[in-house]
Structure 1
C-alpha cells in the first residue's frame, strides 16, 4: 500500500498531467493516451484527483509540481555555484577581516575595503565580510556601494540584523529615507532590543515627516498661477494652528485680526502668491500677541 507521501506525489503528478492536457502542452493526438495512463496510475496508487477528501489531503496549492521542481533546480544551481572553501582559506579570510577591522578603527577606509575584498575572494559566503565592507564604503562616502554590499550580506544571511543597519545607514545618507525606514524596521524585526536601530529608525521617520512639512509649507504648484501657495489642507489639519484659531475666536481677537490693515495686507499677499507672506504673517508680533 502506498504511503501518504507517495499518494501526495502521485496526486501532484496527475494534476500536472491533467493541466498539460487542458492547456495544450500535450497535443490532442497524445492526450487520449495520457488520460488512459493517468487512470492506470491513479488506480495503482489509490489516488483520484477529483475526490474532495484527497484534494484536501494531498493538494499543494497554490504551489504545483512544476513550481516546486523549479525551486529545487534553483537551489541545486546555487549549491553548484558555491565555492568549496578550504580550512586554510577560511582561516586566512578571518585574518584579513580582522586586519580590515583594525584599519577601520584607524579610519583608513580604502585599506580596510581592500582587506575585506581579499577576504571575500577567499570566502564569499560570509555575510559579515560584505557588511563590514559596506560600513567602510559608507565611511568614505560610497553609499551606493554600501547598499549593494548590505544587500549581498542579507542575501547570504537574511537573519543578519547588522546588515540591515548598514543598509539603512547608507540609504539615509543617500536621502532615501523611506528605504532607510524599511531597512531599519527589518533589522528591528530580527533584533527588537537594538537601541541603535531604534534611534536610527526614529531619525529616519523624523526626516520623512520634515520633508512632508516642507512640501506642504513650500507650496507645490497645483496649476497655472498657483504662485507657490501653501497646502491649505495641511495648514487646516495642523493642531497648533487650529488651536490658535479657536483661541482667537473665543477671545474676540478674530474680529481684531480681520479689521487690522496690516494683517489684511499680509493675507492678501499670501493668497496672491507673494513669497513669504505666510511666514511673515505667522511671525508678526501683533498676530502672535492676538
Structure 2
C-alpha cells in the first residue's frame, strides 16, 4: 500500500513539473510550485532528485491527466447508460369498461360452477383475468374451479397468483391451503392456512383447515395401521344391514356407476347411514369432518352460488374418503359381530 501511494505521489510530481515546463504555471508561480514539489516528496518519502527511485515508481507512459481522463470518460458513459435505460413499465390502468366486462365473465363463471361445468367456469374466469388482471377474486375463483375439476396443481398456481396480486386477500390463502391439502402436501397446507390466520385470526375456516392439516401431517409420519379383517368391514353384508363402503355409496347415488347425486330421503331410510351417524357422534368423527378444509371450501362455494359437489367429487378428498371408509366399516361391524362401541379404524 505504501508503494502504491508513492507511485501516486510520483505521478503528481511529474504532473507539477510538466506544468512548469509547458508554461501552464506562470513564471511568478514557478518558485512556489517547485517548493511544493520538494515538500510533497519529503512528506511521502519520495526524493524528487532520485532518478532511479522515480523511474521505478513512475506509471509512464500513462500520466496523471490521462488516468483522470479515463476515469471521467467512464463515469460519463455510466451516467448516460443509466439515464437512457428504459424504466420498468407500470401496470396499465384498467378502464371502467373492462372492469364491467370482467365482472360479467365472473358471473358467468359462477353460474357454470353452480352447474358443475368446471371447464366453462375456468374459461369464463380466464376471460375476466384477461380484461382485469389486477383483481385477485378472478384468480381465486379460477383456483376453486380447478380444485373442483381435481386439477389441484393449477389451483395452487392460481391461488399463489391471487396472493401476489393482493397479499391481504384472505380467501386466496384458504384456496391455496385446500389445494395443497388435496395434493397431500399437509405441511404446505398448514403454512397457507396459518398465513391467512395472520391476516384474519378469527377466521374459523382457516383455523379448522390448519388444525386438520397439522393432524394429517402428524399422521403421515406414523406407520399406517393394518386394515381390519373383511368381517370387521362388513364386506359381505348388504346396504340395509350395514354393508361395505361401496354399498353405502350406492345408497347415496355415488357408488360405481351412480349419478353422484345426494338422495337425502333415501339416506334417512338406510340403517347403515343411521349407524354411521351414531358412530360419528360417539367417536369424534363429526368434529374431524368440520375441520376438513374440503368441507369449508364446499360451504364457501355454496354461499357464493357454486352449488353442492357430487359424492364422487367429495370422495376425491383423501380425508373424507378415509373417514367414510372407516365409518362404513363401523356401520358394517354392527351386523358382523364388531362391538358397537369399538372405535373406528383411523
TM-score range, shorter chain: 0.3 to 0.5
User: Whose Rg is larger?
Assistant: 2
Q: Which has the larger share of helix?
A: 1
TM-score scaled to structure 2, two decimals? 0.40
- Please report the TM-score for the alignment, with normalisation by the length of structure 1: 0.48
Relative contact order: is structure 1 or structure 2 higher (C-alpha 8 Å, sep ≥ 6)? 2
